């Protein structure tokens, strides 16, 4: 199986090879256009995959801001971008994985080889293309169901048994409830522990930290090898970076709470906690 992370030295000589597709998954919480960023400069031959319209769907507020698309809808997205079921996909963004990890995690859950370009755009040594890019539509792609073992629902998160660690990947100030730029209530799910997804990155390179570094970060919030873990964030996107880091560190499997805090905070009957410690921040 392809590792969860690859670097530019792995990707550059393979760029353009049959069976390999590169996906640009830039997305910004502040509303800037990921597509505009792609068109201003992207890896040669890469396609733009839209987080809002292709890697998620609109749902009820309690489902969060980025519910997973149905298996049928996601299969159509893959076909539209020319991604066949045996193709290898490398995804990148310009934040270190905060949005591109979503596509990588989705594909890996379906058993498809996919990896995150570690460090993203800032590590690319070659030239960039500009413009809209060229799609290569594939034939029909058969839908594959999302594996239930990879997901945690809201009722389960509300009553996690002792020993299961709920990890919130948001920035410390959002976790503590000091600010909330987009969701209806500030704070965090009671019992959650905060490991900001940026805290898994080396601040000097923007790449994921070493295996030893990652294990130490997870250990600081009580996650060791084999510890049951559920990852959450604002809307089930940046939590995927934590899930890839968890896998890369060899800590076993973990699950995603897709609705995350956006879904939780939209239900007025759900309790919310304020304050708390943030462990493993960068710097």
Which run of H or of E encompasses 22?
strand 20-24
Residues 254 and 165 sit within 8 Å (Cβ to Cβ): no
Q: Quick check: is 233 catalytic?
A: yes
Residues 29 and 182 sit within 8 Å (Cβ to Cβ): yes
- Of 230, 269, 227, the closest CA to residue 250 belongs to 227
- Cα separation, 168 vs 281, whole angstroms: 12
DSSP conformational letter for 14:
G
* CA triple 148-154-156, angle to 5 deg: 70
Residues 232 and 257 sit within 8 Å (Cβ to Cβ): yes
Structure tokens given for 79: 């076909």
Which one of the listed residues 21, 23, 43, 233 is annotated catalytic? 233
| Residues 6 or more apart whose Cβ sits within 8 Å of residue 186 | 174, 177, 178, 179, 180, 272, 274
Residues 77 and 103 sit within 8 Å (Cβ to Cβ): no
Which run of H or of E encompasses 176?
helix 172-176
Q: Could you report how far apart the first and last alpha carbons of the chain are, in Å? A: 32
- Cα separation, 175 vs 197, whole angstroms: 12
Beta bridge partners of 256: 151, 231
Active site residues per annotation: 233
């Amino acid at each position: 199986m392809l590792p969860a992370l690859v670097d530019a030295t792995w990707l550059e000589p393979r760029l353009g090879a049959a069976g390999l597709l590169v996906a640009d998954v830039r997305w910004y919480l502040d509303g800037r256009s990921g597509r505009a960023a792609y068109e201003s400069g992207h890896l040669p031959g890469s396609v733009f995959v839209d987080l809002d319209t292709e890697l998620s769907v609109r749902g009820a507020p309690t489902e969060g801001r980025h519910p997973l698309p149905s298996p049928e809808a996601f299969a159509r997205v893959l076909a539209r971008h020319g991604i066949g079921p045996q193709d290898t996909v490398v995804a990148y963004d310009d934040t270190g994985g905060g949005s591109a990890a979503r596509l990588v995690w989705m594909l890996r859950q379906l058993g498809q080889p996919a990896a995150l370009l570690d460090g993203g755009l800032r590590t690319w040594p070659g030239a960039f293309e500009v413009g809209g890019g060229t799609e290569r539509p594939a034939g029909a792609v058969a839908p594959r169901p999302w594996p239930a073992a990879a997901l945690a629902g809201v009722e389960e998160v509300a009553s996690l048994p002792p020993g299961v660690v709920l990890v919130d990947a948001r920035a410390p100030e959002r976790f503590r409830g000091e600010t909330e730029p987009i969701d209806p209530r500030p704070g965090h799910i009671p019992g959650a522990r905060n490991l900001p997804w940026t805290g898994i990155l080396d601040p000097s390179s923007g790449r994921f930290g070493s295996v030893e570094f990652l294990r130490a970060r997870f250990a600081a919030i009580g996650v060791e090898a084999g510890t049951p873990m559920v990852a959450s964030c604002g809307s089930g996107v940046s939590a995927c970076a934590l899930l890839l880091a968890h896998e890369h560190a060899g800590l076993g499997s973990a699950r995603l709470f897709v609705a995350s805090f956006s879904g939780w905070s939209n239900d007025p009957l759900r309790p919310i906690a304020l304050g708390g410690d943030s462990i493993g921040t960068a710097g």
